[in-house]
Amino acid sequence: MSFPSDLEIARNASLKPLDDIASQMNLPAHLLEPYGRDLMKIDLAAIDELSDRPKAKYVVVSAITPTPLGEGKTTTTVGLGQGFKHIGKNATVAIRQPSMGPTFGIKGGAAGGGYSQVVPMELLNLHLTGDMHAVTAAHNLLAAVIDNHIYQGNELNLDLNNITWRRVLDVNDRALRNIVVGLGGKGDGVPRQTGFDITAASEVMAALALTTSLEDLRERMGRIVVGYNEDGEPVTAEQLHAAGSMAVLLREAVKPNLLQTLENTPVLVHAGPFGNIATGNSSVVADRIGVRCGDYLITEAGFGADMGAERFFNIKCRTSGLRPDAAVVVATVRALKAHSGKYKIVAGKPLPPELLAENPDDVFEGAANLRKQIENIRIHGVSPVVAINAFPDDHPSEHEAIHQIAKEMGARSAVCTNFAEGGKGAAELAQAVAEAAEEPTDFRLLYPDEASLQEKIETVATKVYGADDVHFSLHALQQLDTYEKAGFGNLPVCIAKTHLSISSDPKLKGAPTGWTLPVREVRASVGAGFVYPICGDMRTMPGLGTNPAAFRVDLDDDGAITGLS
């Protein structure tokens, strides 16, 4: 008998009424807004109303540098949330909303896996409560206002070759990456080149993830820079009179969504910003609520600890004021073996068979990556815990190797079998996290607001990525100068680079040294609240493959969804 599919497991879950889940969290009914049968939104008034309650231990889940297959970070996050129940504690999980484009692309859906899933997975992976669509609508309203402004006479003197605001759609559609708009007749707008990104890449999404209130979100919308005028000065959404309408479109989207795991652990799902050009973390408001709702709040950060966790510390926590108590670093045997540099793992293809043979030496050879990512947690003053996400082909000697590496680094570690076994498979990890979170913390940001943008980039590059140096192109230096002069110098930085290496070269495995980070250009998400240097090719609109999930997803005779994973 084969292991059931995620969708089969999810379909057989016994969901509790969300009212009961909210009761577990001590959330009063007047803060809850049901959306359909198995979804709820939570009113932001919860932040103030619950602020007197004791703060939960705040735990971020990160990872070693993943292979293109991913290392089961969401599965571990969900499993850990479930695991706390097995050691007699209440936990809440906070994750990003999955992007719908990839649901119909290669992935088919994402919500953890096996017996550690968020349910209902079909709602989570499709529209949920419409937040993504609201982001799309707000983003594209601003785009329409920009092109209308140009068409009506361009009073603000926008430089048509320097409009940085594109459009967005939550679909994998490569044909929209580069387009020319405004064709047709005289009444059909002014022709110019632009394009669409996927909604997860929208600055509106990044702002939604970092905002602290609806009022704050309104101000962030106003600060969005859409491009520059002929004098090189930034032009904002406020100047275009679009920010009020954008905030109105986001009035419901700003409320976090409540779902549950297969074992009825509460899950806050909110915002879904990209992990390379944006923070890759779920929302500040969800965490601010969740941290008042139990013993532990487990929040997930995108990609490896150099990426999502660094942004979690230096951007998200800087904004929220919340201090983390522990950080989980998810590691797998297969990824550590890959970090030895001996194996090539390609998405959509079977693993190389030799990778599956028992070989703890290869795990040790790839250990540099795990060590460096543990250090990347430590330099922020947070206690790391290594979660060994077990796969069926792993060998005990290989798990032992990871335990040993963690121990040498002074970090706790635990094997997780929660994919196959649910929460009880993560009870040991929950215990390790509980112990780590009891240690005295000394949380620190890596750089102060006052440092220059260049200093901030250099700090992250050398301290977190292990680069020797940073090389700024002339263009990048000019842009940094422009941003400093425009008053954006106090923002944190979000370095857009590959997630497949701690360096900026996806081919370099382990913990690369002796390299220089190349910054070819720098962009500013002023509304979201960060500056992002571009260090590599950042794809912001995926395409569909030859056999996308869109071909398989369908309704069965009972109207239930099939093919979602």
Among 28, 68, 130, 227, binds a second copy (CB under 8 A): 130
CB of 214 to a second copy, least distance (A): 5
Residue 456: name the closest of 491, 499, 409, 502 by CA: 491
Among 69, 106, 181, 356, binds a second copy (CB under 8 A): 181
Span interacting with a second copy, options 81-89, 171-179, 402-410, 442-450, rule CB under 8 A: 171-179
CA distance 228 to 217: 22
User: Does position 326 bind a second copy by CB under 8 A?
Assistant: no
Q: Rank residues 309 and 553 by Cβ distance to a second copy and give the closer one.
A: 553
CA atoms within 13 A on the CB side of 207: 31
3 state SS of 261: strand
Q: Among 15, 106, 160, 214, which residue interacts with a second copy (rule: CB under 8 A)?
A: 214
Our finding on whether 104 is near a second copy (CB under 8 A) is yes
Instruction: Tell me phi and psi for residue 274, to 5 degrees.
Output: -55, 150
Helix (H), strand (E) at residue 83: helix 73-85
DSSP class per residue in 517-536: EEE-EEEEETTTTEEEEE-S
- 271 makes contact with a second copy (CB under 8 A): no
Q: How many CB atoms lie within 10 A of CB 145?
A: 19
Of 18, 48, 507, 70, which Cα lies nearest the Cα of 332?
70
Selected range binding a second copy among 30-38, 53-61, 80-88, 518-526, rule: CB under 8 A: 30-38
Tell me the C-alpha distance between 531 and 277, whole Å.
9
177 binds a second copy (CB under 8 A): yes
**Binding status of residue 41 toward a second copy by CB under 8 A:** yes
Q: Which residue from 25, 78, 121, 134 is in contact with a second copy, where contact means CB under 8 A?
A: 134
Paired strand residues for 534:
496, 521
> What value, to the nearest 5°, has the Cα angle with vertex 540 and ends 191 and 225?
60
Question: Which tokens sit at 224?
Answer: 């969005």
199 among the known binding-site residues?
no
Distance from first CA to last CA of the chain, Å, rounded?
18
Residue 106 found at the interface with a second copy (CB under 8 A) = no
**Bond before 4 cis per omega within 30 degrees:** no
71 is in an annotated binding site: yes
Q: Is 37 an interacting residue with respect to a second copy (CB under 8 A)?
A: yes
Q: With CB under 8 A as the rule, give the number of residues binding a second copy.
A: 73
| Minimum CB distance to a second copy, residue 181 (Å) | 4
Smallest distance from the beta carbon of 98 to a second copy, in angstroms?
A: 14
β partners of residue 525: 530
Under 8 Å between Cβ of 416 and 332: no
500 vs 553, beta carbon nearer a second copy: 553
140 contributes a contact to a second copy by CB under 8 A: yes
Q: Establish if 29 lies at the interface with a second copy (CB under 8 A).
A: no
75 in a known ligand binding site: no
What is the distance between the alpha carbons of residues 460 and 467, in angstroms, rounded to a whole number? 9
CA gap 51, 64 in Å, rounded: 34
Site for a second copy in 528-557 (CB under 8 A): 543-544, 546, 548-555
- Would the annotation count 36 as a binding residue? no
| 80 annotated among ligand-binding-site residues | no
Name the one range near a second copy by CB under 8 A: 80-88, 174-182, 267-275, 359-367: 174-182
Q: Give the whole-angstrom CA distance, residue 111 versus residue 116.
A: 8
Report the residue from 94, 176, 204, 453 that binds a second copy according to the rule CB under 8 A: 176
d(CA 199, CA 170): 5
Q: Does 147 bind a second copy (CB under 8 A)?
A: yes
- CA–CA separation, 57 vs 54, rounded Å? 9
Select from 17-25, 147-155, 355-363, 490-498 the region that touches a second copy (CB under 8 A).
Answer: 147-155
Cβ proximity to a second copy: between 219 and 295 the closer is 219
Span interacting with a second copy, options 58-66, 190-198, 200-208, 397-405, rule CB under 8 A: 190-198
19 binds a second copy (CB under 8 A): no
Shortest CB 172 distance to a second copy, Å:
6
Helix orientation angle between 214-223 and 203-210, rounded to the nearest 10 degrees: 150
Binding mask 109-128 for a second copy (x = CB under 8 A): -----------------xx-
Report whether 502 contacts 465 (CB < 8 A): yes
- The answer to whether residue 238 forms part of the interface with a second copy (CB under 8 A) is no
The reply to whether 248 sits near a second copy by the rule CB under 8 A is yes
Pick from 513, 102, 519, 142: which is nearest to 275 by CA? 102
Among residues 17, 20, 180, 410, the one that binds a second copy under rule CB under 8 A = 180
Residue ranges for the known binding site for ATP are: 67-74
Residue ranges for the known binding site are: 67-74
